[in-house]
Structure 1
Amino acid sequence: MGRVRRKKMHKGDKPLKEKYRTKRRTKDFDEIHEDMKPGNADALLNQDLDYDKPGGAQHYCLHCTKYFIGARALSDHFKSKPHKRRIKALQMEPYSQEEAERAAGMGSYIVPKTVEVKTQGTKEVMEAEEPVKEGT
Structure 2
Amino acid sequence: MPSGGQRKHTISNKTRKRPGKDLDQIHEDLKPEKAAKLLNQEIDYDLPGNGQFYCIECERHFIDEKTRQIHRKTKMHKNRVKTLKEVPYSQKEADAAGGSGFFPAITLKTRVELPKPVAEEEKEPVKIDVDEVKK
In the alignment, which residue of structure 1 is the partner of 2:82?
Answer: 88
Tell me the TM-score normalised to structure 1 length: 0.72
1:110 aligns with 2:104: no
Q: Check 1:77–1:6 CA distance in 2 against 1; reply closer, same or farther (3 A cut).
A: closer
Q: Give deviations 1:1-38, integer Å, cap 9, x for gaps.
A: xxxx878763xx6xx53855323422111001100111
1:28-64 residue CA offsets vs partner (Å, 9 max, x unmatched): 1100110011111111000000010010000000111
TM (norm. structure 2) is 0.72
**2:114 partner letter:** V
Give the structure 2 partner of residue 43 of structure 1.
Answer: 37
Q: Report SS of the residue matched to 1:60.
A: strand
* Larger Cα-atom Rg: 2
Partner of 2:70 in structure 1?
A: 76
Matched with 2:58 is: 64
Structure 1 runs not aligned, ≥5 long: 132-136
Q: Residues 47-86 of structure 1: CA distance to partner in whole angstroms, max 9, x if unpaired?
A: 0000100100000001111000100000111111111101
Q: Could you list the per-position Cα deviations for residues 85-129 of structure 1 after superposition, in whole angstroms to 9, with x for gaps in the alignment?
A: 0110001001221121121023466321210124546xxxx6xx4
Partner SS state of residue 11, structure 2: helix
Query: How many residues end up aligned between the 2 structures?
Result: 117
Of 95-104 and 47-56, deviating more is: 95-104
Unaligned runs of 5+ in 2: 123-135
Tell me how large the CA RMSD over aligned residues is.
Answer: 2.6
- Confirm whether residue 101 of structure 1 aligns to residue 98 of structure 2: no
Distance in 1 between residues matched to 2:117 and 2:56, nearest whole Å: 7
